[in-house]
Amino acid sequence: MLEPQNLLKKYWGYDSFRPLQGEIIDSVLAGNDTLALLPTGGGKSICFQVPSLLNEGICLVISPLIALMKDQVSNLKKKGIPALSVYSGMSFIEVKKTLQNAAYGNFKFLYVSPERLETELFIEYLPLIKVNLIAVDEAHCISQWGYDFRPSYLRIAALREYFPKVPVLALTASATLEVQKDIREKLLFGKSQNTFQQSFNRPNLSYSAFQLFSKENKLLTILKKVPGSGIVYCKTRRRTKEVAELLKLNGIVADYYHAGLASEERNKKQEDWINNKTRIIACTNAFGMGIDKPDVRTVVHYDVPDALENYYQEAGRAGRDGKKAYAILLYSEAELEELKKQVAVRFPSNSVIKKVYGDLCSFLQLPSNSGEGFSYDFDLNTFAKNFKLDAYTVNSVLKILEQEELITYSEQFFMPSTVEFSIDKQHLNDFEKSYPKYSDVVKGLLRSYDGIFDFPSFVNENELARFVGIGKERLMQILLELKALGIINYLPQKETPQIYFLKNRVKTDELFINQKNILKRKEAFEKRLAVITHFCVTQNECRSTMISSYFSGQHLPPCGICDNCLRNKQLMITSEEFNFISGEIKKMAHKRAVTSKMIIENLPSVKENKIWKVLKFLQEENLASVGQDGLIKVK
């Protein structure tokens, strides 16, 4: 039997584990329920992949991120590790065949989106699947009072009825002590449990926050001063494009990224940045999940996030290689005021919620007492425009309807293309003889995708077109013709946002919304806004200390490299400096009142902030006074 470290070397090529990975793996192998708090890029997936490979059976991985799920399954397959996935958007037949493979095949990982756990089909196959570990990714989603609550996560604990002796590994990048407690309770952690949290001390990462009226010049200064790869996080899709254009105009190789782009375009932009063909990527928070690029030198937040959780996770993508890196937050007073107004937008009145729900059902032409179990293409902007609604309000109401378990809304929905043969091999041979013009594509499918007769396979049209030696458009045309002839079942990729109804439509006046829960979430949101605002404006606290205190309650010593620590160092005055500055001020102001400008001009070799510090001390100690005219008098 391989040891964890040998397995790490065999499949990942690493000689040793990253901090805490080994301890987390040992805890899981010992059968303990385990909560692991590791930063983005900290290697969370290895913590469940290694122990599962060491044990007989399959690891059930629960993740809400379809794109990340798809990437991990693809990466495992490239390593020769068989893996499967089940998520929203798959047909009944696709899901059934995947679950059959999980139950009877030689697979090691089954990735599942949380809402799939409750379906009758999944529950039917669950007892047949030999699960050796339950891994819950993005585990903070289970807390109603956390920053990204998803009701479907609350039902994960029901899995323990089927697998009472199987350990649970909960993983997240950031969670407060309250949310950590919630995770352990909601996942029914047993007496044998461990929590591992990586230190918030990042000695190579310098945090800074700047209040600015105009951010463009500051951004350019930062990126010209700090060489190397970088990320600029923006709040809106339009802003990502504007920032990328600004950087290009100033000679910086940049691009933009957001969830509204086609998946191929997103993948191309992401790969160019990873491979350093693009230096700076301006993006929304849709970018970065699952990306482990160690040499990011700068992460700039061009807009203020609405929670320290988001900021810490995104800023933490800088300096993963241990070399000096910078996390910089740009903000304005107007932005902080705008954040306060977000409370009313995020938590609209009951009447607004009911109106949007009624308009939504009308927009989708959904009759009363229908809709349950059906998914609908949904364009939020078209809907908002048609019904003269504010798009941000609509988005907030959809989130509330999700949390009240009436719908699920997938803004970043993505289902890759799939192909499966509809006829057996003998009939396929006969078909090829009769229709030789399709032979190259048929052979290309057979050679490129194992198991294509048994269950639908994800197909990359670009790769297949290159393999066959034809253009992509011609390939897709042939695939559609083969589908029309009944040879294959071909479903082209789909990226339209989806609304899935968990319950039938009810009359608007009968719609029940739990206002008590909404009020609690509103209070939690206001607390998070207060924390991120404090982080922005505070100038006398170490930023690393603030982060550590918020998430863990531990008070780290000052980092010495954030903007506040550097400012405090500059403000430190030795007794000799103090005596010299105060003596000079007394000499100047002894016989006549002077202005601060006169003092500063007469002490050109002294830093201005030190002069102000001495003046403040003299005033507080009643040794000097400042009149309404601004004149300083020494007593």
Name the least confident of 83-87, 155-159, 229-233, 492-496. 492-496
Sign of the four-CA dihedral 163, 167, 77, 275:
positive
Buried b or exposed e, range 57-95, using 16+ CB within 10 angstroms: ebbbbbbbbbbbbbbbbeebeeeebbbbbbbbbbeeebb
Helix (H) or strand (E) holding 599: helix 596-602
Region 45-73 average pLDDT: 90
Q: 47: which 2 tokens?
A: 């913590």
Residue 568 is given by DSSP the state: H
Q: How high is the mean pLDDT of the chain?
A: 90
**Top mean-pLDDT range of 115-119, 149-153, 561-565:** 561-565
How far is residue 406's CA from residue 152's CA, in Å, rounded to a whole number?
11
Other beta carbons within 10 Å of 627? 9
Query: 328 and 350 in contact (C-beta within 8 Å)?
Result: no
How far is residue 473's CA from residue 460's CA, in Å, rounded to a whole number?
13
**Top mean-pLDDT range of 25-29, 209-213, 565-569:** 25-29
Other beta carbons within 10 Å of 106? 7
Residue listed under structure tokens 């350019």 = 220
595 — pLDDT class (breaks 50, 70, 90): confident
Residue 289 is given by DSSP the state: T
Which pLDDT tens digit goes with each residue over 609-627? 788 878 888 887 778 888 7
Helix (H) or strand (E) holding 219: helix 216-225
Q: For position 414, what pLDDT does the model report? A: 58
How far is residue 304's CA from residue 524's CA, in Å, rounded to a whole number?
18
Q: For position 89, what pLDDT does the model report? A: 66
Query: 116 and 87 in contact (C-beta within 8 Å)?
Result: yes
Q: For position 572, what pLDDT does the model report? A: 76
Q: 191: which 2 tokens?
A: 């007496």
Query: 550 and 176 in contact (C-beta within 8 Å)?
Result: yes
Between vectors from CA 219 to CA 215 and to CA 221, what angle results, nearest 5°? 120
How far is residue 359's CA from residue 371's CA, in Å, rounded to a whole number?
15
How far is residue 253's CA from residue 287's CA, in Å, rounded to a whole number?
18
493 — pLDDT class (breaks 50, 70, 90): confident
- Give whole-number Cα distances, 33 to 173, 184, 519, 624, in Å: 18, 9, 32, 64
C-alpha radius of gyration, the chain, whole number? 29
Q: Which residues contact 537 (CB under 8 A, 6 or more apart)?
A: 209, 211, 336
Other beta carbons within 10 Å of 607? 15
Region 556-570 average pLDDT: 88
Query: 411 and 379 in contact (C-beta within 8 Å)?
Result: no
> In this model, does residue 370 exceed pLDDT 90?
yes
Query: 422 and 170 in contact (C-beta within 8 Å)?
Result: no
**Top mean-pLDDT range of 95-99, 360-364, 549-553, 627-631:** 360-364
How far is residue 461's CA from residue 471's CA, in Å, rounded to a whole number?
9
Q: For position 621, what pLDDT does the model report? A: 77
> In this model, does residue 1 exceed pLDDT 60?
no
> Which ranges constitute the DSSP H helices of 365-471?
380-386, 391-403, 425-434, 439-448, 461-468
Q: For position 74, what pLDDT does the model report? A: 84
Region 27-49 average pLDDT: 91
Higher pLDDT, 147 or 30: 30
> In this model, does residue 188 exceed pLDDT 60?
yes
DSSP track, 13-67 = --SSPPTTHHHHHHHHHTT-EEEEE--TTS-HHHHHHHHHHHSSSEEEEE-S-HH
Which pLDDT tens digit goes with each residue over 66-115? 777 878 888 898 899 999 998 766 778 888 999 999 999 999 999 998 88
How far is residue 387's CA from residue 405's CA, in Å, rounded to a whole number?
24
Region 226-245 average pLDDT: 95
What length does the chain have? 635
Name the least confident of 144-148, 220-224, 253-257, 481-485. 144-148
How far is residue 250's CA from residue 221's CA, in Å, rounded to a whole number?
11
How far is residue 628's CA from residue 630's CA, in Å, rounded to a whole number?
5
DSSP track, 84-107 = EEE-TT--HHHHHHHHHHHHHS--
Q: 3-class SS at 387? A: coil
Type of residue numbered 118: E
Which pLDDT tens digit goes with each residue over 433-447? 999 999 999 999 998
Region 237-246 average pLDDT: 95
Which pLDDT tens digit goes with each residue over 248-302? 999 999 999 998 887 788 889 999 999 999 999 999 988 877 677 899 999 999 9
Q: 461: which 2 tokens?
A: 């049209």
Other beta carbons within 10 Å of 262? 11
Q: For position 358, what pLDDT does the model report? A: 96
Q: For position 412, what pLDDT does the model report? A: 58
Q: Which residues contact 143 (CB under 8 A, 6 or more apart)?
A: 149, 175, 178, 179, 182, 183, 186
543 — pLDDT class (breaks 50, 70, 90): very high
Q: 88: which 2 tokens?
A: 């929203």
Region 514-530 average pLDDT: 92
Q: Taking the model in full, what pTM does it have?
A: 0.76
Question: In the chain, what is the greatest distance between 2 CA atoms, to the nearest angstrom?
Answer: 111
> In this model, does residue 578 exceed pLDDT 90?
no
Which residues, listed in sequence order, are joined to residue 265 by a DSSP beta bridge? none
> In this model, does residue 489 exceed pLDDT 60?
yes
- Name the pairing type of β-strands 498-501 and 375-377: antiparallel
Which residues, listed in sequence order, are joined to residue 283 by a DSSP beta bridge? 233, 257
Residue 155 is given by DSSP the state: G
Q: Is 366 left (phi over 0), alpha (psi -120 to 50) or beta?
A: beta
Q: For position 135, what pLDDT does the model report? A: 98
Q: For position 625, what pLDDT does the model report? A: 81
